[in-house]
Amino acid sequence: MLLLLLSHGYSYAQASKISGRITNATNEPLIGVSIVVSGTTQGTTSDVDGNYTLTAPSEATLVFSYVGYVSQTVAVKGRSSINIIMAADNKQLGEVVVTALGIKKDERKIGYSVTKVDGGALSVARETNVATSLQGRVAGLNVGSTSGGPGSAARLNIRGVTSFSGTSQPLIVINGVPMDNTVRGSSGEWGGADLGDGISNINPDDIETMTVLKGSTASALYGARAANGVIQITTKSGLRNKTTIEYNTNYQFDHAVDNRNFQTQYGQGSQGLRPTDQASAIISGNTAWGPRLDGAPTVGIDGQTHPYSLAGDNFHQFYRLGTSWTNTVSVSGGGEKGTYRLSLSNLDNKSILRNSGLARRTATFTTAYDLTKKLSFNLSLNYIDQEDKNRPQLSDAPLNANNILFLSPNIDQSLLQPGYDVNKNGLETAWNVDSYTTNPWFVVNQYINNLSRKRLIGVVSGRYAFTDYLSLMARTGYDYSSDRRFNVTPYGTLYSSAGEGGLDNLTLGTRMEMNSDALLSFNKQFNQDFTVSASLGGNYRYNRFESSRLYGGQFIVPYLYTPTNLRNRNLEYQFTELITPSVYYTADFSYKFLTLSTTGRYDRFSTLPDGNRSIFTPSVSGSFVFSDLLDSPALSYGKLRASYAKTSGEPANPYQTNFYYNIGNPLNGTPRANFSSTLPNANLRPFSLREFEVGTELKFFGGRVGVDVAYFDRQTSGEIVSAGLSVASGFESRSVNLGSTRNRGWKPC
C-alpha cells in the first residue's frame, strides 16, 4: 500500500502545465469550452480568447466538449501546447440565431417561433425595398406593397392585425438596436404619395441575415412597441486573419403587367352614338358607350378625324421598360485582435413610369476589436443618401398618371401627348369630362414630387468580461434622418385655381431615435448537462420629430416654382418627442434536452397620462429536443416548443392626453390659434395582448419542416388563431399561412 501511494505521488509529480487555444472552423475563439482530464474531475474552461491552461500528467487524455460541437478526446503525450479546432455537431442543429436585444442563442434552446433568412437569398430576389424580398420565405409573415414606384413602403404583418386603429408593422432592429421604420406619406381621394419607409433605405448586399421573431414571447424584451413581432437585421462583418475584396453587380428589368379585362369591340361615345365634335369626344374620352368599332372616320379629342378602330396597345406604349442597376464593392478583413468591413454601393433605378425613379448611395463600415483580453469594442455605421424623383400620386384621379388605363379603346394615346398645349401657355390638354382626372402625359412631363433623404444609422458597443461566464455590455444606437420634399401642382393643371397651380410641399423634416442599453450577462455551464444563461439590463429611449412646411397657391410667373413666386403662402411647424426608460431581464435554464426560459420588461412611457404610464410585459417558454432521445439516421433534429406571453400595443403618439393649441397663420394681420379636433383621453392605455403558441421543428435528409400554431386574445381585434407551415431544402424555402379571426366585440381601451 505504501509503495502504491508513493508511486501515485511520484506520477503526479511528473505532471506539467498544458496550454493552448480552441477555435472553430473559421478561426473564431470558442468561449467556455470544457476541458477535463479523462477519468478525473480535474479541468478548466476556455477564456474569452479561446485560451486555456491546466496541469495534467504527460500520459493523461484530455476531453474537450462544447454545446453544438463534436467532443474531442486528445492524448497529451508529453506535449505542453495543444491547439484544438472543434467541428460543428451535425447531429445537433448547430445554428445560432439572433434574438431580442441582439442576444445570440442556440436555436435548440428557443421555445418560440424564429425564422432566419440568409442575406444571399435577399440579394437574389432583389427589390428596391429589401423587406418585400421576405415574401413567401417566412410562415406567418404577410408582405404587401403599394404601386407606389421603386422604394415604396412594405406592409409587413405577422399573424394578423393587432389593432384596428394603429399600425400592425413589426419592429425593425438592426444590430440589436431598434431603427425608425416610419412610413412617410399617405394617399387619399384628393392626393398623396407613398414616400417609403425606414427599411427601404437598407442595402441588401450589407445584410448577413434577417431573423423574424414572430411571437410575443420572442419580442417581449422590446416591450410594447414589439407587440407585432420583430425583424432582426444583422449586417455583414469581416473575418479574422482573412482579407476579402468583393464586387457585386445586379441588373434588373421591370415590366408593367396588364391585368385588365376590358372589352375592345365598342368605342367612345354615349348611348350608342359616336362623337360628332371635339367637345363630345373629350366628354367620352374615358368611357366606351359608343357603337361597335367599324373604322369609319370620327372626330377625336384633338378635333381631327381618325378611324373609329381599335387604337392598339396603349398600355405598353405609355409605360416604359424599367431598369434597376446596383453595384456594390466591399473590402473586409482583420487580424488577431479584430475585424473590419467597408462597403460602398450605388443603386440607379428608372421606374416604368416615365420621368420617375430613384438613386441611392450607401456607405457601410463595421469593426470589432479586442482592446484587451477582457475588453472588446464594436462599431457599425451606415450612411444613406437617397434621391427620389417624381414619386407617383396614388389618389383617385388628380395627378395620377395611371388613368391611362381607362382610355377609350379607339383613342390612340399619342393624341394625349405631350399633355399640354404649347399654344395656350402650357395649359393641360383636356381628354375627358372630369378635370380632376388629369391627362397622364401632362403628369409625366410636368408633375414634380421629389424627395431627398440623408440618413445615418450607428451602433457602438463595448463588452467587458469579468470572467469567462460573467460580462457587462454597454451599447448606444443612433438613427438620424433628414428629409426634404418638394411637391408641386404644376402650372397649367386644369383643376387648379385659374390653372396657376401651387406649391403643395416644401417640407424639411428630421427624425431622431436614440437607444442606450446596459446589459449584465451570466452564462455558465455547470456540467455536461446543466447550463444557465441570464441577463439583466436597462434601456433609455429618446425619440424626436421636427418638421417645417411651406406651401401656398397660384404661381405668378408660369413655371417658376419658388416660394417667392406664390400669391399666398402658409407655414406649418410640428414638433414631438417621447422618452421611455425601461428595465428588463431574461433567463434560460437548460438541462440536457430541456430548456425553460422567461423574460420580463418594465416600461414607463412619457406619452401616457400620470398614473397609467407603466407597463410590464412578461413571457415564459420551453423547448424539448426529442431527437436527442432517438438514434435515427434520417432525423437529425426534432424539437417541440411552447410559449406564453402577455404584452401591450405601442402607446399613443405624444400629446393625446390633454388639450393643446396651435398658432396658425395670421388672418388680415390678426393671429389665429386652434385646438385639435380629437378629444383628449386622460385614461388612455394601449391595448392588451395575450398569446399562446405551440410548434415543432424537424430536420432530416438535408430538408427542414416547421409547424407553428398560435392563439391570440387581442383587446381590439378579438380572438385570432394563426397557423404556419414552412418547408425548406438546400435550394428553396416556402411557407404557407393559415388563419382565422373571431371578433368578440370591441372593448374600451
pLDDT at 10: 38
Asked if omega into 291 is within 30° of 0 (cis), the reply is no
Give the span between the Cα atoms of 592 and 529, in whole angstroms.
5
SS3 189: coil
Give the span between the Cα atoms of 3 and 6, in whole angstroms.
5
Neighbours of 433 (CB within 10 A): 14
Domains and CATH numbers, the chain: 2-85 (2.60.40.4130), 98-255+321-399+447-742 (2.40.170.20)
The larger pLDDT score, comparing residue 442 to residue 684, is at: 442
pLDDT at 457: 95
**719 has pLDDT over 70:** no
- Range 659-685 average pLDDT: 78
Digit-coded pLDDT (tens) for 497-539: 888 999 999 999 999 999 999 999 999 988 888 999 999 999 9
The pLDDT confidence band at residue 445, using thresholds 50, 70 and 90, is very high
Strand partners, 482: 454, 510
Give the span between the Cα atoms of 486 and 506, in whole angstroms.
5
Give the span between the Cα atoms of 268 and 288, in whole angstroms.
4
Digit-coded pLDDT (tens) for 309-318: 999 889 999 9
The pLDDT confidence band at residue 3, using thresholds 50, 70 and 90, is very low
- Range 234-262 average pLDDT: 89
SS3 657: coil
Q: For residue 264, how many C-alpha atoms fall within 13 Å in the half-sphere facing its CB? A: 8
Pairing state between β 187-188 and 177-178: unpaired
Percent of the chain with pLDDT over 90: 42
pLDDT at 737: 59
Digit-coded pLDDT (tens) for 215-230: 777 777 887 778 788 8
Give the span between the Cα atoms of 593 and 279, in whole angstroms.
81
726 touches 703 (CB < 8 A): no
Give the span between the Cα atoms of 238 and 469, in whole angstroms.
25
Q: How far is CA 548 from the centre of its chain?
A: 27
Give the span between the Cα atoms of 314 and 228, in whole angstroms.
43
**Residue 93, C-alpha cell as written in the block:** 442543429
**Residue 160, C-alpha cell as written in the block:** 394578423
336: left (phi over 0), alpha (psi -120 to 50) or beta: alpha
Compute φ and ψ for 372, nearest 5 degrees.
-140, -175
Percent of the chain with pLDDT over 70: 89
SS3 648: strand
**Winning range, highest mean pLDDT, from 264-268, 420-424, 725-729:** 264-268
**730 has pLDDT over 50:** no
Digit-coded pLDDT (tens) for 165-216: 556 788 899 988 888 888 887 776 677 788 888 888 898 899 998 888 887 7
274 touches 295 (CB < 8 A): no
Closest CA to 382 of 201, 542, 231, 209: 201
Cα angle value 9/11/12 (rounded, 5°): 70
* Type of residue numbered 550: L
End-to-end CA distance of the chain: 82
245 touches 331 (CB < 8 A): yes
Chain position carrying cell 455605421: 381
- Range 247-272 average pLDDT: 91
pLDDT at 527: 86
pLDDT at 598: 92
292 touches 211 (CB < 8 A): no
**Winning range, highest mean pLDDT, from 161-175, 223-237, 707-721:** 223-237
Residue 705 class from Cβ within 10 Å (0-12 exposed, 13-18 middle, 19+ buried)?
middle
SS3 315: helix
- Range 677-682 average pLDDT: 79
Digit-coded pLDDT (tens) for 578-600: 999 999 999 999 998 899 999 99
SS3 429: coil
Give the span between the Cα atoms of 408 and 267, in whole angstroms.
6
Q: Which residues contact 585 (CB under 8 A, 6 or more apart)?
A: 534, 535, 536, 537, 599, 600
Give the span between the Cα atoms of 418 and 38, in whole angstroms.
86
446 touches 487 (CB < 8 A): no
554 touches 511 (CB < 8 A): no
Chain position carrying cell 367620352: 284
The larger pLDDT score, comparing residue 700 to residue 338, is at: 338
Neighbours of 41 (CB within 10 A): 6
pLDDT at 585: 93
Give the span between the Cα atoms of 469 and 131, in whole angstroms.
37
Output the average pLDDT for the chain.
84
The pLDDT confidence band at residue 715, using thresholds 50, 70 and 90, is low
Please report, for residues 85, 398, 565, the alpha-carbon distance to residue 614 in angstroms, rounded to integers and kept in the order given.
49, 46, 51
Chain position carrying cell 410641399: 505
The pLDDT confidence band at residue 567, using thresholds 50, 70 and 90, is very high
For the CA atoms of 661, 663, 664, 669, the dihedral, rounded to the nearest 10 degrees, stands at: 140
Give the span between the Cα atoms of 314 and 15, in whole angstroms.
89
Give the span between the Cα atoms of 729 and 710, in whole angstroms.
25
122 touches 199 (CB < 8 A): no
SS3 404: helix
- Range 10-38 average pLDDT: 79
Asked if omega into 307 is within 30° of 0 (cis), the reply is no
